[in-house]
Amino acid sequence: MSRDQSSFDADLVILGGGCAGLSLASRLAHQSPKVRVVVLEARTCYQEDRTWCGWRTEPHFFDDCVVSQWNQWRVVTPTCSLRLGSAGYPYEMLNSKLIYEKACNLIRGSRSVNLMTGAIVKDVIDSERQVTVCLGDGTILTAPWAVDTRPHQRSLRPPWLWQNFVGYVVQLEDERQGMWGSLPTLMDFQPAGDSVAQFMYILPMSANSYLCEWTRFAQIPGERDLIETELRTWLDRETNGGWAMERQEFGSLPMAPPLENFQHRIVDGGTRGGSLRASTGYAFHAIQRWADTCAASIAKTGIPVPPRRNCLLECMDELFLRVLQHESTSAALMFSRLFGDCDPDRLVRFLAGIPRYDDLWAVVSSLPWPPFLLAAPSLAVGGRP
């Protein structure tokens, strides 16, 4: 016998109000005024804490939060500097402050969605008929469904890696204005040291400010102090000390497929549910696609859905990461082949996680085959995260 909906505290509880939680909740606030939603978010206020970028392959809910877009980008290796581009798929930059504001305003204006900040989820009980959520302050909430977007605490085994990075938004002295050009540099490879790969990611923010991010593919998460030292040394060397930091951001992203993302009545979303692409760390646009699908499913059936998984892409990512970690592989060479030899539109669709079948072939044929053939048998052995 099913329980009367009104005896629950909400029709849906969203655990975590970051990118995925707010993306879903703001759509529901906008489109489904009858669905009662509670979003539980640990932080007490939203600040500009990250810069979301990625290729725009279709219109999305946060189009009005795009602050820059480029039809060309650069990849730099020790042996070449590539300038690449796509007329159809610009690389766009979104301001997190604008996104948080838009989502919070939509939620504030709705009668059915309630965002509780400072709400720390301590325990979640998933039973056949309902989800019970216990908060740090002793509050208990029940709902027939929950979407969980809190990051997993997890350890990763090879071939899976952590993508650790620190980014500084820097202001340059006047005479150094525009020194890194007006295009984004997606990868400027640095000596790998004891990591699998290290590179700078450089985004023009305004005439004399850039986001400069030192990124490391490594076996362990974090490494913040180490990365900051590398970043500061690089900035000092490049600008002769002529920089000042305005803001910083930090991340440690699991380059690995998600853990099980569906239980009785809890569906995982966002990075936790598999929206983060293992081989790249991009997640924003995939989260938008998932939020569209999930909101539509809730409007139609009342039931949320997890991000759709693509086994073929997961296998390709696993193989790619295995090859990157082989001692004879140069990550700079692999990425220069990928960016240099593959048609940019095909590569963008592949990296964005929405390839057509012939895009897969184009990507595969741009890469050197011998290391992949050598690594392929180990796929059968498996490397679950």
Ligand X SMILES: Cc1cc2nc3c(=O)[nH]c(=O)nc-3n(C[C@H](O)[C@H](O)[C@H](O)COP(=O)(O)OP(=O)(O)OC[C@H]3O[C@@H](n4cnc5c(N)ncnc54)[C@H](O)[C@@H]3O)c2cc1C
Q: What are phi and psi of 322, to 5 degrees?
A: -60, -45
Binding mask 4-33 for ligand X (x = CB under 6 A): -----------xxxxxxx------------
By CB under 6 A, tell whether 121 contacts ligand X.
yes
Q: Which of 68, 77, 149, 198 binds ligand X (CB under 6 A)?
A: 149
Q: What are phi and psi of 223, to 5 degrees?
A: 60, 30
Count of positions (residues) in the chain: 385
Please give the radius of gyration of the chain, using alpha carbons only, rounded to the nearest integer: 22
Site for ligand X in 38-97 (CB under 6 A): 40-43, 50-54
| Smallest separation (angstroms) from ligand X to the CB of 36 | 19
Q: Which of 130, 223, 232, 251 binds ligand X (CB under 6 A)?
A: 251
By CB under 6 A, tell whether 249 contacts ligand X.
yes
* Integer Cα distance of 35 and 6 in angstroms: 11
| Smallest separation (angstroms) from ligand X to the CB of 65 | 13
| Smallest separation (angstroms) from ligand X to the CB of 173 | 26
Residue written as token pair 């989800």: 131
Binding mask 28-47 for ligand X (x = CB under 6 A): ------------xxxx----
Q: Which is nearer to ligand X, 17 or 159 (CB)?
A: 17
Name the closest residue to ligand X (Cβ): 18
Q: Which is nearer to ligand X, 15 or 324 (CB)?
A: 15
Q: Residue 202's closest CA among 239, 173, 229?
A: 239
Q: Using omega within 30 degrees of 0 as the cis cutoff, is the peptide bond preceding 344 cis?
A: no
The b/e string for 236-253 (b: 16+ C-beta within 10 A; e otherwise) is eebbeebbeeeeebebbb
CB atoms within 10 A of CB 299: 14
Segment near ligand X (CB under 6 A); pick from 69-77, 270-278, 318-326, 346-354 = 270-278
Which tokens go with 370? 């011998």
Applying CB under 6 A, which residues contact ligand X? Answer: 15-21, 40-43, 50-54, 119-121, 149-151, 249, 251, 253, 270-272, 282-284, 287
